[in-house]
Chains A and B, each alone.
Chain A
Amino acid sequence: MLITSWQGLGMEKDIFISAIRAFFQLFFTGYVLQFIFGANNPYLTIGILVIMTLIAGKDASKRGQGLPKVFFIVTASIALGEIITLGILLIIKVITFVPNEAIPLSGMILGNSMVAASVALDRLKGSMVQRKAEIEALLALGASPRQAVTNVLKETLRTAIIPTVDRLKTMGIVSLPGMMSGLILAGQDPTQAVKYQIVVMFMLTLTVTVTTVAIALLAYQGYFTKYQGLREDLLVINTKKGHKVD
């Protein structure tokens, strides 16, 4: 908080509230999970996954404030990533659909896709603002909105996916990922923990890619009017002191 204040990022309140929220949420989650694991009911598990997805969607959609249907777009994109990834893990029998496997894995999947969704929405807007002149030049030449934002979409996808790819590159050398560390701490054979982690990392990369592509392809349309002009009211970046940058 001191560092962000010193740098004038205006994120102190955000960091403080997030830290307090994380503290209480984790305690609450511990008790809820204890109850759900004990119940071992598939419908209850699905219900929990739906709630987790909705919360992830609500949180990530804040980055796209003002965009039409942003909550629906973000939630649907995160859900799509979750369904595909969890589906593959179930089909290839890496996990079974029991709460103590499906819920923690979904937590990892949703956490990653939520971050990717936030980054994608943020970059999409930034890139739309930066490339406004290019987009209008292309529209004026007869391009469709989809054609006009080709470079914007490339930039958005790259920015949202690069952190996951970079993490893959240094995995096991710079950092021991959470799941693997947890299994090792719980007394699991490290080679067995590694096998789980490899599958999970590939799945998380898939999740991030699916979520980001879905968000980019759905959300860019919100920046255009129905007659294919740019919505300039959305192409404004608010800075800390409320100055607007066109």
Chain B
Amino acid sequence: MDFILKDVDLSKGQPILKHINLTIKKGSIFLLIGPSGSGKSSLLRLLNRLDEPTTGQILYNSLPIQSISVQQLRTEVGMLFQNPVMIKGSVKDNIALGCKLAKKDISEARILELLDRVGLEKKLLTKEAELLSGGQKQRVALARALANNPKVLLLDEPTSALDPGAVLQVKEALLEQNQAGLTLVWVTHDMELAKEVATEAVLLVKGEIVARGTKEEIFNSENQLTLSFMKGEMKTE
């Protein structure tokens, strides 16, 4: 198991997550779905300690995450955000960033390999990263995260700000990494995408898990809340 959450609560003045119990298996594509404001991103942020639960316990590889250094955890548990942030400099500078922060060397050959893994052309290596398209930036962000050799990748709606062509490219790059053993914890609103890629999923409503299971169990559920969400009838909180 990569992650086990035991009765996790998160509160920031008001309750955001309530009694979250879940297990994320190694190599899975674990989907977090639910209406806006349901706590999906907040749950994701707990997994690399950008936020800390108010109560409850999170285990990573059977160890409480507090027992692992924050930097080590964040290196192993990478994250892609909805809007990728490029630092000033070339694509190469961006991909090498994680290694630079950890004061490790990264070879040009390794950078080229990462570029290839995310489906970007070599000629982009020296291009100013800020000048790339949204889809290219997201793939550079993916290559940057992969340079740290993560075991888990947290995806906070990484395709929601992209055009359909770019969505396909980023999705393919991510699925390829999953095939290579990378666990993906994926927040999305895109039900078609969820149906296509998920191995497991949970439906969050008002900070609580209201449905969980394999892709088939979730998407064929007779649960009223699940059906309501699938039909787009659930109000944004």
Please report A residues at the B interface, Cβ cutoff 8 Å. Answer: 133-134, 136-144, 147, 225, 227-230, 232-233
Q: Which of B69-77, B112-120, B191-199, B210-218 contacts A (4 or more CB under 8 A)?
A: B69-77
Known: A133-B85, A144-B71, A227-B70. A138 touches B52 (CB 8 A): no
Task: List 28 contacting pairs A-B, 8 Å CB cutoff, sorted by A.
Answer: A134-B87, A136-B81, A138-B87, A138-B97, A138-B101, A140-B50, A140-B74, A140-B79, A140-B81, A141-B78, A141-B97, A141-B98, A141-B144, A141-B145, A141-B148, A142-B72, A142-B75, A142-B98, A142-B101, A144-B101, A147-B101, A227-B49, A228-B49, A228-B70, A228-B71, A229-B49, A230-B50, A233-B12
Q: What is the chain B residue whose CB lies nearest that of A138?
A: B101
Partner of B52 from A133, A140, A147, A229 at Cβ < 8 Å = A229
Residues of the A chain whose Cβ atoms lie less than 8 Å from the Cβ of B52:
225, 227, 229
Are A141 and B101 neighbours in the complex by a CB distance under 8 Å? yes
For chain B, residues 47 to 86, give those with C-beta under 8 angstroms from any C-beta of chain A: 48-52, 66, 70-72, 74-75, 78-79, 81, 83-85
Residues of the A chain whose Cβ atoms lie less than 8 Å from the Cβ of B154:
140
Residues of the A chain whose Cβ atoms lie less than 8 Å from the Cβ of B98:
141-142
Known: A141-B97, A141-B98, A141-B148. A134 touches B85 (CB 8 A): yes
Are B48 and A140 neighbours in the complex by a CB distance under 8 Å? yes
Are B78 and A140 neighbours in the complex by a CB distance under 8 Å? yes
Known: A142-B71, A228-B70. A136 touches B97 (CB 8 A): no
For chain B, residues 1 to 29, give those with C-beta under 8 angstroms from any C-beta of chain A: 12
Q: What is the chain A residue whose CB lies nearest that of B70?
A: A228
Q: What is the chain B residue whose CB lies nearest that of A134?
A: B85
Known: A227-B70, A228-B70, A232-B12. A137 touches B85 (CB 8 A): yes
Residues of the B chain whose Cβ atoms lie less than 8 Å from the Cβ of A228:
49, 70-71
A138 to B85, CA, bound (A): 9
With an 8 A cutoff between CB atoms, is B102 at the interface?
yes
Residues of the B chain whose Cβ atoms lie less than 8 Å from the Cβ of A227:
49, 52, 66, 70
A230 to B98, CA, bound (A): 19
Are B87 and A142 neighbours in the complex by a CB distance under 8 Å? no
How far does the Cβ of A224 sit from chain B's closest Cβ, in whole Å? 10
Residues of the B chain whose Cβ atoms lie less than 8 Å from the Cβ of A140:
48, 50, 74, 78-79, 81, 154
Q: What is the chain B residue whose CB lies nearest that of A137?
A: B85
Q: What is the chain B residue whose CB lies nearest that of A226?
A: B52
Residues of the A chain whose Cβ atoms lie less than 8 Å from the Cβ of B85:
133-134, 137
Are A142 and B81 neighbours in the complex by a CB distance under 8 Å? no
Are A133 and B101 neighbours in the complex by a CB distance under 8 Å? no
A144 to B101, CA, bound (A): 8
A117 to B148, CA, bound (A): 38
Residues of the A chain whose Cβ atoms lie less than 8 Å from the Cβ of B97:
138, 141
Residues of the B chain whose Cβ atoms lie less than 8 Å from the Cβ of A136:
50, 81
**6 more A-B contacts (CB under 8 A) besides A141-B148, A142-B74, A227-B66?**
A133-B85, A136-B50, A137-B84, A142-B75, A228-B70, A233-B12
Residues of the A chain whose Cβ atoms lie less than 8 Å from the Cβ of B75:
141-142
Q: What is the chain A residue whose CB lies nearest that of B82?
A: A133
Are A141 and B74 neighbours in the complex by a CB distance under 8 Å? yes
Q: What is the chain A residue whose CB lies nearest that of B48?
A: A140
A38 to B98, CA, bound (A): 63
How far does the Cβ of A134 sit from chain B's closest Cβ, in whole Å? 5
How far does the Cβ of A144 sit from chain B's closest Cβ, in whole Å? 7
Partner of B81 from A133, A143, A232 at Cβ < 8 Å = A133
How far does the Cβ of B84 sit from chain A's closest Cβ, in whole Å? 8
Are B83 and A142 neighbours in the complex by a CB distance under 8 Å? no
Are B74 and A139 neighbours in the complex by a CB distance under 8 Å? yes
Q: Which of B12, B50, B87 has the most CB of A within 10 A?
A: B50
A63 to B144, CA, bound (A): 37
How far does the Cβ of A223 sit from chain B's closest Cβ, in whole Å? 13
How far does the Cβ of A73 sit from chain B's closest Cβ, in whole Å? 23
Q: Which of A133, A137, A227, A233 has the most CB of B within 10 A?
A: A137
Would you list the 4 A-B pairs with minimal beta carbon distance, nearest first? A140-B79, A142-B75, A137-B85, A141-B98
How far does the Cβ of A127 sit from chain B's closest Cβ, in whole Å? 15
